[in-house]
A and B are shown apart, each in its own frame.
Chain A
Amino acid sequence: MSTYDPEKAAQIHRDLHTHLPPDPALRVKTLESLVVERGLVQPEIVDAWVEAYSEHIGPKRGAQVVARAWTDPEFKARLMADASEAIKDFGFEGHATGHLKAIENTDTQHNLVVCTLCSCYPFSILGMSPAWYKSSEYRARAVREPRKVLAEFGVTLAKDVSVRAWDSTAEVRYIVIPQRPAGTEGWDQDRLAAIVSRNSMIGTDRDLDTGGE
Chain B
Amino acid sequence: MFNPDDPLAPPEKAFDQPWQAQALALADTMVRAGHFTPNQWAQTLGAALSKSEQDGAPDNAETYYNAVITALEQLTEAHTDITAPQRQVRRAAWEAAYLRTPHGQPVKL
Partner of A169, one of B42, B49, B86: B42
Q: Are A24 and B59 in contact (CB under 8 A)?
A: no
Q: Are B94 and A30 in contact (CB under 8 A)?
A: yes
B19 to A, closest residue via Cβ: A25
Q: Are A31 and B76 in contact (CB under 8 A)?
A: yes
Q: How far is the CA of A128 from the CA of B61 in the complex (A)?
A: 12
B48 to A, closest residue via Cβ: A118
Q: Are A127 and B39 in contact (CB under 8 A)?
A: no
Q: Are B21 and A54 in contact (CB under 8 A)?
A: yes
Q: How far is the CA of A211 from the CA of B33 in the complex (A)?
A: 45
Question: Which secondary structure characterizes the binding site on chain B?
Answer: helix
Which chain A positions have C-beta within 8 A of B101? 19
With A38-B81, A117-B42, A136-B53 as given contacts, are A127 and B76 in contact (CB-CB < 8 Å)? no
Q: How far is the CB of B76 from chain A (nearest CB, A)?
A: 6
With A61-B8, A135-B59 as given contacts, are A24 and B53 in contact (CB-CB < 8 Å)? no
Which chain A positions have C-beta within 8 A of B24? 49, 53
Q: Are A58 and B26 in contact (CB under 8 A)?
A: no
Q: Are A128 and B10 in contact (CB under 8 A)?
A: yes
For A21, A31, A42, A169, which residue has the most chain B Cβ atoms within 10 angstroms? Answer: A31
33-85 of chain B: CB within 8 A of chain A: 33, 35, 37-39, 41-43, 45-46, 49, 53, 59-62, 64-66, 69, 72-73, 76, 80-82
Q: How far is the CB of A145 from chain B (nearest CB, A)?
A: 16
Q: How far is the CB of A91 from chain B (nearest CB, A)?
A: 11
A17 to B, closest residue via Cβ: B103
Which chain A positions have C-beta within 8 A of B94? 26, 29-30, 33
Q: How far is the CA of A171 from the CA of B31 in the complex (A)?
A: 13
Q: Are B95 and A55 in contact (CB under 8 A)?
A: no
Question: Which secondary structure characterizes the binding site on chain A?
Answer: helix
Q: Are A136 and B10 in contact (CB under 8 A)?
A: no
Q: Are B9 and A50 in contact (CB under 8 A)?
A: no
A9 beta carbon closer than 8 Å to chain B: no
Q: Are B21 and A53 in contact (CB under 8 A)?
A: yes
Which chain A positions have C-beta within 8 A of B35? 40
Q: Are A95 and B28 in contact (CB under 8 A)?
A: yes
1-31 of chain B: CB within 8 A of chain A: 2-3, 6-11, 14-15, 17-19, 21-26, 28-30
Interface residues as binary, A29-56 with B (CB distance below 8 Å gives 1, 0 otherwise): 1111111001011100111011101111
16 A-B residue pairs with Cβ-Cβ distance under 8 Å, sorted by A, are A21-B98, A24-B19, A24-B62, A26-B94, A28-B19, A29-B22, A31-B26, A32-B26, A34-B76, A38-B81, A55-B9, A56-B8, A57-B10, A117-B46, A169-B42, A171-B38
